[in-house]
Structure 1
């Protein structure tokens, strides 16, 4: 195995880092302060996108820093998962950067689904506008009334009636649904009888958000913040009718598509976590060396130097594990990298949470405010330990695979 970045990956990572340093970092704090001022809490109907975001997106696209996550050389940058991992780490240092480069979740995963599984009509109608950054999208899977850590529990239904699919159910934590540019949702719902296997009963359906019967009830706060202007919404689908041609890849293929979607996406999330952890460590050191208490720099008090060392060890271990998972995903596909993908899903957010907690502690009250990105990084880390499956589910899968290697079926 070889984790040495290719020249192409190094070039893109360096250009992304330079763009962030030159164009994003100088204005990011003011961007989020203005967002707080112009958005109105949970009232997503009043959320707006600051013009500077579209200006930055245009600059990034003009420099060829666009759709870097997509391995297709015509539609994206043609980077492998391992190559893109370096870029994702750089974007993780900034809360704005993923969107600026059109590499933000959930759009990346939805674009990958449409690129890999969508038919030409679906790609023309929805993939191309997403690739152009003209619209945003949503992924609706988690439900409020069941334990969504087991996705087979979902109760929303998608019933085929002639040439129409009728969707009924309620979803929540539908990220991005408050964005005024959000136009399309991929909804995962039950479409088959129980006589089929547990993982062949669900389908993914494209649902335009202006379809009659789609009702957004509220935005859900994450530790008191609404993540405007994107949000995480609770949405109801009541007798929502869309053409049967809106089913992606065919009925019953929802879990198959989900596995193809989640593999690369988890690499992206984890490398962004590592980038955020690096940023938090930098802020921690700068704060510790610039502030004085009891006649000494903060860094020389209370075991803070040891915490810096602990952070360095944890970040580097998480990076190596994630790069190994990316390498194995490229070589063996998602099924061949199940242990490694589950492992990084546990490790990377936990490392980010640990490092950010250290950084918050040395910042004192400032660390809990919006004067630094630390509180947002902490919320990101803690929520990712639930998104795409809680830690316990991933550790259970790792244990199952390890036991099976040694000849035990149960």
Structure 2
């Protein structure tokens, strides 16, 4: 193969497109960066389904595309929008799921590296770190990352290479100070990675607060329609570590499909309007539910009663997100029965869609879960907030 045929020497992809600084992220996302199909002049981006591409006469790939496993124009266009939303100078990398994206970050480390991870975090990823990370030769400590002193104490000199945080954390919605934790990581010679799935770039941009890597389960609010499974990693600096994550996606075949990338791109065009309604609904519900006699506590960072409220107010914009949890005074059985009685809320796993979901998380997570048995997790959608409140209270009150 000639040097021109080597995919390491292929040209850069045509995305991201030009992004005039005078336009807001909301406007750029709404128009998918203003990309126009060059053939039809259509304003909706096309779906590129081809798995292979024509070589040039000199055996090179002047188009920049070689094969469908690492390269797809629809995927790269969605990645460009994600990079714009996150201010990711290194770009964004789409994966086939949030778990594929997250585990790629850990797989990019070296055997023997030490990781600090939260005690409360997305349960499937916590389980992977607790059971599978050691097979990669990684050392993991689960720490109360909301306590910066605890993070400092967990640092192993010359061993800690990654601090992973999730804020707000699922399903207790604890808040970790991104800037403070980034400072701790960098002084220790480590990187900070932030799972910002529930915040989304509408509320928080971790890279601007000092994080090195931001991860999203794009299945959730970035897509917003409960019809795509996807994950994304975005980076601040295009260093060897970020390139290693890219190579892991390529070598393990974890790229998202073009149709899923198209649906994700479609979803992100309405991210700002969906999130505005969802976060407003969540705040109203949290305030109303906090006054209810049957509810022991409402966990929502927008409430002044939340222990992480001040940090959340400092690092979150445009509200406090669409996720909250409630703990019922009636205990576990009251929570399970409430979830069984709702009509407008839907009993289902996942979060971030336009429809509101309710779930008894302890039942899902099983033994070892830090989730209290009396807790219900609520993903607030775009329905009428009065309808959502009436349905939930009726289910709580029913005998």
TM-score by length of 1: 0.26
Q: Give the structure with the larger helix fraction.
A: 1
TM value normalised by structure 2:
0.27
